[in-house]
Amino acid sequence: YEVGSCSAPLALSAESFCAKRIISGCTVIPLSYGDGLESALLSYCGIPAAHAERNGTVSGTAAEFALDITSGPVFLCGLDLNAPAGYQHAQPNCIEVRNSSFDNRTVPKEGRISASRFSSQSLSVYSGWFKSLPAEKTKRLFRLSDHFKFADTLGSVADTDFDFFADSADGRNVFPAFTDANIPPQAELLKSERQFFENNKSSNEWLHSVFPAEYLGFMRSAGGQDAEAKKNSLLKRNDVLLSHLERILYE
């Protein structure tokens, strides 16, 4: 399909990144993990959201969500969790664009890519999650491939081809309906977003949710010699973030 124009609904959590040209042309299903500021923001703005399970991998969250909202087979396309010899992610990728800006003749791209392959265990963790799924879930879960032999299996998640996919679809190409006409108008949403921002922008919950590592470091240093320095560092980072958010909300 064309980027920015798709017939399939796009499920996104409030903390997800999505390019404007894509999100503006798709029907979006808001997802909520039921925790953090994101959940509170959706509730405050009156935006209904479907529940999703927080997972170590987005693929796992997507699989759980698809199994929850359907009764038929669920197909995973392109889910190769075997550590590759090169890039860890499909290309083009915004992370690679950012990282490549630091490549040079003395610290080349090849060294960076090779180092990430040997030091990262994330793919094996993600693969292990799929391998641990009970049979009651994997009996409806399939990894789709055009006769490609994956180097790694996903436990009892069966690999299958497009012929099996076509036979399983059996003419049922209707997506689950999620349309909700009760979402507030755009002007009301913006007003609610601004009010939520003003009410929460310096609260402990805000700092904990937005800067978890720095906030925990500050809390653990209470009474220590560096407590004031950590507090100032945390508030300085928050001030920078707030200036960016204010431009988005008020300009």
Residue 44 covered by a domain: yes
With CA atoms as reference, report the closest residue to 144 among 124, 161, 167.
Answer: 161
Residue 32 covered by a domain: yes
Helix (H), strand (E) at residue 160: strand 158-160
Residue 236 covered by a domain: yes
With CA atoms as reference, report the closest residue to 140 among 77, 63, 53, 60.
Answer: 63
> How many structural domains is the chain composed of?
2
Q: For residue 199, give both structure tokens.
A: 């009410």
DSSP state of 184: P
Scanning the chain, the segments in alpha helix (DSSP H) are: 20-23, 36-44, 58-69, 94-100, 109-119, 122-131, 135-138, 162-169, 186-200, 204-210, 212-220, 227-250
Q: For residue 58, give both structure tokens.
A: 């987005």
Residue 80 covered by a domain: no
Measured from the Cβ of residue 180, the count of other Cβ atoms closer than 10 Å reads 11
Q: For the chain, which residues score pLDDT lower than 50?
A: 1-3
What pLDDT was estimated at residue 20? 79
Distance, CA of 94 to CA of 21 (rounded, Å):
15
Final residue of a structural domain among 34, 52, 70: 52
Distance, CA of 135 to CA of 153 (rounded, Å):
15
What pLDDT was estimated at residue 251? 77
Buried b (16+ CB within 10 A) or exposed e, 164-175: eeeeeeeeeeee
Are 21 and 90 in contact by the 8 Å Cβ rule? The answer is: no
Residue 30 covered by a domain: yes
Residue 118 covered by a domain: no
Residue 47 covered by a domain: yes
Residue 68 covered by a domain: no
Containing structural domain, residue 32: 1-52
With CA atoms as reference, report the closest residue to 137 among 66, 214, 215.
Answer: 66
Are 152 and 81 in contact by the 8 Å Cβ rule? The answer is: yes
Final residue of a structural domain among 9, 28, 52: 52
What pLDDT was estimated at residue 151? 79
